Chain A
Amino acid sequence: MNRRMLIPLAIFVALAGFLFAGLWRDPREVPSPLIGKPAPAFKLTQLHAPQQMLGTSDMKGKVWLMNVWASWCVSCREEHPLLVALAKENIVPIVGLNYKDEPAAGMRWLTDNGDPYTTSVMDRDGRVGIDFGVYGVPETFLIDKAGTIRYKQIGPITEDALRKKILPLINELQKS
């Protein structure tokens, strides 16, 4: 058989391979350009104590998670039990960025579903969200002691992502 006749077949197989691999990639997950960069500085009022502020600089020297959530966010309910369980283990402080939400609605939501957050801050106009490149709530950022973003979870945290990626990374970053 003529070997040249195999060329189109080879091209087809290669193309099919690419398309096949593409089936398992989520087009909604856009890699963030902020990974490896300093977390954007913010200073926002706290949800439960509006006269107090909390900002990026207050978290210097700690490895921390920033979870973007809102009471209107449906998939936040999906990941919430995981966060509550994680908070109980006391491994890492979780700062909640209450994104474009009504404070009263946000607080009620936490009372109903449990409050895993060390502190929640209010980003009412979504400006800090834009600085962090947030486009689909929930999103979670892992920030190291120097204030560098090390990991971003787009959409709900899954058990798998938590155990295989986030927790090992936290462990490693806390040692350094």
Chain B
Amino acid sequence: MGRASTFLPALFLLCALSGQHAGAADATPTEMDPVKAARAVKLADKLRCLVCQNQTIADSNAELANDLRGQIREQIAAGRTDDEILTYMVDRYGDFVLYQPPFKTTTVLLWAGPALLLVGGLFILLRNLRRQPAAESTLTDEERERAKRLLDGDDRKDDK
């Protein structure tokens, strides 16, 4: 009796603490060795669930994501490498299943874009900075006079 009364709260605490890993645990089969299970979770984390496109297969509760997690586990158990499993997914669902798009001709702009913008921006900035001195200057005598008047607080003449 006494034992049960301390055991139960401890159990609840344990459940609550492990709750934060529930998402990852979904992709982990119970009977798999930890190294393989970790691989399965890592792979599922790289793949997009096409049903709910902003979730990974590891995060999603969609039935398809569940099936694909099953596929990953099965293929790991069958001794396939990570690359082979990713290729299996890309062959069926296209590059879009990969959260990190591959580098190829159609994605050059995607990968190189930010660097190009940075370089281009720096180039324009430097050019403008260098040009600055030429733009500095040049009030006519008349304007200087008027500025002086304004600064002195005698602006009545200026009002029209």
**Distance (whole angstroms) from the CB of A134 to the closest CB of chain B:** 8
* Interface size in chain B (residues, C-beta < 8 A): 15
B90 pairs with A30, CB closer than 8 A: no
B93 pairs with A33, CB closer than 8 A: yes
B92 pairs with A100, CB closer than 8 A: no
Q: Which of B51, B67, B90, B94 contacts A136 (CB 8 A)?
A: B51
B92 pairs with A34, CB closer than 8 A: yes
Rounded to whole angstroms, the CA-CA distance of A86 and B51 in the bound complex is 28
Q: Which residues of B contact A33 (CB under 8 A)?
A: 90-95
Minimal Cβ-Cβ distance residue in A for B71: A130
Q: Which residues of B contact A28 (CB under 8 A)?
A: 53
**Distance (whole angstroms) from the CB of B146 to the closest CB of chain A:** 26
B96 pairs with A133, CB closer than 8 A: no
A135 pairs with B64, CB closer than 8 A: yes
A133 pairs with B92, CB closer than 8 A: yes
A133 pairs with B93, CB closer than 8 A: yes
Q: Which of A125, A132, A133 contacts B94 (CB 8 A)?
A: A133
Task: Flag whether A27 is at the interface (Cβ < 8 A).
Answer: yes
**Distance (whole angstroms) from the CB of B99 to the closest CB of chain A:** 14
Q: Which of B71, B90, B93, B95 contacts A135 (CB 8 A)?
A: B93
* Residues on A facing B (Cβ under 8 Å): 27-28, 30-34, 100, 125-126, 130-133, 135-136
Could you write out 26 A-B pairs with CB less than 8 Å apart? A27-B53, A30-B50, A30-B94, A30-B96, A31-B94, A32-B94, A33-B90, A33-B91, A33-B92, A33-B93, A33-B94, A34-B92, A100-B63, A125-B67, A126-B63, A126-B64, A126-B67, A130-B67, A130-B68, A130-B71, A130-B92, A132-B92, A133-B94, A135-B50, A135-B51, A135-B93
